[in-house]
Amino acid sequence: MHSVKLYNLFLILGIIFNSCSKENYEAPIPTYISIDPITLTTNLATQGSASSNITDAWVYIDDNLIGVYELPARFPVLKEGLVNLKVYAGIKDNGIAASRSRYLLYAPYSEQINLVKGETIKILPQVTYDAGVKFTWLEDFESASLTFLYSTGNDTIINKTTTDVKEGLYSGRVYLTTAMDFFEATSVGFSNLPHSGTPIYLELDFKTNEPLLIGVYLDANQYSMMTLNVTSTWKKIYINLTETIAIKPNATEVKVFFGIQENSSNPFVSTNPEIFLDNIKLVHY
C-alpha cells in the first residue's frame, strides 16, 4: 500500500516538473519589425537637397533602445500591444564604417504601433532636419553665381557643369590639365559657428578621380581633416567638423576648404584630375 502511494506521489511530481520545464523552455513568440529605407524630406528653398546616406536605424520603443540595425533590417521585438516607436537615422561618421552614429541633426520618426505575436510590421520612416538646425551654407550650383573663394596661386576654379550632375540641372566641376598642379577653394568666412562641441557637419555629394583633401581654416590656421577617396559613382558623405572647430574656441572666422596639390613626392593618381561636387551644406545647432 505504501509503495503504491509513493509511486503516485512520484508520478504527480513528475507531471508537475515536466509541465514547468516545458513552460520554462518554450521560446517566446516575437513581433517582427521591418525597415527598408529611411528617407529624408526637406524644404528645398531653406534646407537644400533631400540627398542623404542613411545607413542604420536606431530603434527605440517606449523610449528604450531596442537596437541599432543596418538597413534594410528585420528584427524581433518581445513586446505586445500598443507601443510608441521612434526611429533615428544613423550614418557613417566621416564615411567610416566603424564610426556609425545617430545623426543628431535629423529629427526622429515617431509612430504608435500595435505589436502582435508572430506578425511582421513594415515601417517606412521619413525624417526631417530637427527644428533647431541652422543652415549656414547651402551650395547646390543652381544659382548664377557660386559661393567660393580661391587661394593665391590657384591653377583653376570650380565651374558649373551639366556634364555629370547628382540632381538638379548643375553640379560643380574642377578640372586640371597636365600643366596644372594646384587647386584650393574655400567657403566664405563664417563667424556664427558654435565652438563648444555642438554638432557641426559638412554634407556633400561628390565624385572624383583624384583624392580630395577637405578641412577648415580657423582664422589663418589650416587644419586638414580627411581625404575623399576616388569614386566613379556619386557618393554622399557627412563630415564631422565639431572637434576640429572646437580646437580654437576664440577663432573669429571659419572657412571650409577643398584642395589637391601635386609635387615630386605626391604625384596625382590621374592624368587629368576631375572632381564633381553637389549639394554642399554646412549645418549645425
- In CATH terms, the superfamily for domain 31-127 is Carboxypeptidase-like, regulatory domain (2.60.40.1120)
Is the model's pLDDT at 7 over the cut of 80? Answer: no
CATH of region 134-284: 2.60.120.260
Reading the block at residue 144, the C-alpha cell is 548664377
- Write down the pLDDT at residue 23: 53
- Write down the pLDDT at residue 172: 98
Sequence-separated (6 or more) residues with CB below 8 Å from residue 29: 117, 118
Is the model's pLDDT at 2 over the cut of 80? Answer: no
**C-alpha–C-alpha distance, residues 239 and 285, integer Å:** 15
Is the model's pLDDT at 116 over the cut of 90? Answer: yes
Is the model's pLDDT at 139 over the cut of 80? Answer: yes
CB 36 within 8 A of CB 70: no
**C-alpha–C-alpha distance, residues 162 and 279, integer Å:** 14
Q: Which amino acid is at 258?
A: F
- Write down the pLDDT at residue 27: 81
218 falls in which pLDDT band (50, 70, 90)? very high
Q: What is the DSSP string of the chain?
A: -HHHHHHHHHHHHHHHHHHHHHHHHSPPPPEEEEE---EE---HHHH--------EEEEEETTEEEEEEESSEEEEE---EEEEEEEEEEEEBTT-TT-EEE-TTBPPEEEEEEE-TT-EEEE--EE-B-TT-EEEEEE-S-SSS---EE-TT-----EEESSS-SSSS-EEEEE--TT--EEEEEPPPBS----SS--EEEEEEEEESS-EEEEEEETTEEEEEEEEPPEEEEEEEEEE-HHHHHTSTT-S-EEEEEEEE-BTTB--SSSS-EEEEEEEEEEE-
CA 260 remoteness from chain centre: 25
Question: Global pTM?
Answer: 0.89
Is the model's pLDDT at 51 over the cut of 60? Answer: yes
Sequence-separated (6 or more) residues with CB below 8 Å from residue 246: 195, 196, 197
Instruction: Give the domain ranges of the chain.
Output: 31-127, 134-284
Q: What proportion of the chain, given as a percentage, has pLDDT over 90?
A: 88
- Write down the pLDDT at residue 11: 43
Reading the block at residue 190, the C-alpha cell is 563664417
